[in-house]
Structure 1
Amino acid sequence: MLIIICGLPGSGKTTAAKMISKHYSAVHLSSDIIRKQNLQKPQYSDEEKEKVYTEMAEQVEKNLKNGKNVVADATFYKAKQRDRFLALAEKAGTKGFVVICSLPESEIRKRIGKREKGPSDADFEVYLKLKKEFEPIAGRYLEINVWGKHNILEKISEFIGE
């Protein structure tokens, strides 16, 4: 099974992804960590983003082929990125799900402002840029809000048909 966790910077993707991957004994792949491992000073250029998504796709494919559940944690702001990863799940003969994390912009601004040194370098400027570029999600998806952490796993289980 592949669960794609998408959303804007500061929306709680990593918080949700960690919780979900632990619950489902899944491999958690984070674009923030992959970016840090591959790029010294990320500029969030289109070329850099493509490099990160390509590396993540390779890791997703490898883990799915080995029969592991995977949680892929990235903005996935382009429809083609989400479609590419869903195709990997289909190719591996497993199900793929899209979950979008959302929070009010005022809360996202606070969360980004409070970030300590961590894997994500995305500041509020990056958030605003990606907000403009975020393409609508087609097909079936689940929207979650990390403020309601207590029922995220319940919503996910219901969504994936457990």
Structure 2
Amino acid sequence: MLIVLGGLPGTGKTTLARLLAARLGAVHLRVDTIEQALVRSGLARHPVGPAGYVVGYALAGDHLRQGLTVIAESVNPLCVTRDAWREAAVRAGVPVVEMEVCCSDPVEHRQRVTSRSADIANLPLPDWRQIVEREYEPWDREHIVVDTAGQTPAESLESLLRAATFPAADSH
């Protein structure tokens, strides 16, 4: 199964993806990690553009064809990126669950953004203005929305688990 987690920076995507990966025994594929590796290689500079996503789609496909559950985590701001994740699942012959992580409380969201630090060396984090002004197309199909406002990460994970059915950790 491919689980696609998208949403603006600072909404809790990485935290949820890590918790969900641990719960399911899944591969956590993080586009930020891929993009920063491309920058460290000298082949790209920030903003990386589509390269990180393209590498992510390929890695997801490889893992899915090995029978692994993959959690693909990225901002996923455009319909074209969402379609490409779906296509990776179709090519691998596995189901896909699409989830948008949001923080509906702008005060809490801004506090998260301004107080966090990068967990990937030299990864530039966007500031609040960049997040608010970022191009982010509305989702044009059914998907699960997980609102992390006013919740602990564990509570957000439970909300996510209630909203979708996932394979057991030992079934991949």
Paired-residue identity, %: 24
2:101 maps to what in 1? 101
CA deviations 1:113-136 (Å, max 9, x no partner) are 112232352222331232xx1111
User: Bigger CA drift: 141-150 or 20-29?
Assistant: 141-150
Change (3 A) 1:117 1:75: closer
2:165 maps to what in 1? 161
C-alpha separation in 1, matches of 2:20 and 2:45: 27
Instruction: Spell out the pairing of 1:1-162 with structure 2 (5 A cutoff).
Output: 1-40=1-40, 42-44=45-47, 48-103=48-103, 104-119=105-120, 120-124=123-127, 125-130=129-134, 133-146=135-148, 147-148=150-151, 149-161=153-165
Once the 2 structures are TM-superposed, how far is the Cα of residue 158 of structure 1 from its aligned partner? Answer: 4.0
Change (3 A) 1:93 1:159: farther
Task: Structure 1 unaligned segments of length 5 or more: list them.
Answer: none
Does the aligned pair in 1 maintain the 2:6–2:13 contact within 8 Å?
Answer: yes
C-alpha separation in 2, matches of 1:116 and 1:27: 23
Once the 2 structures are TM-superposed, how far is the Cα of residue 39 of structure 1 from its aligned partner? Answer: 0.8
TM-score by length of 2: 0.82
- Rg comparison, structure with higher value: 2
User: Bigger CA drift: 33-42 or 13-22?
Assistant: 33-42
SS of 2:111's partner is: helix
For this pair of structures, how many residues does the alignment match?
A: 157
Does the aligned pair in 1 maintain the 2:4–2:73 contact within 8 Å?
Answer: yes
Task: Structure 2 unaligned segments of length 5 or more: list them.
Answer: 167-172
CA deviations 1:59-80 (Å, max 9, x no partner) are 1111011110000110000011
**Which amino acid in structure 1 is aligned with residue 55 of structure 2?**
E
**Which amino acid in structure 1 is aligned with residue 124 of structure 2?**
D
Does the aligned pair in 1 maintain the 2:102–2:145 contact within 8 Å?
Answer: yes
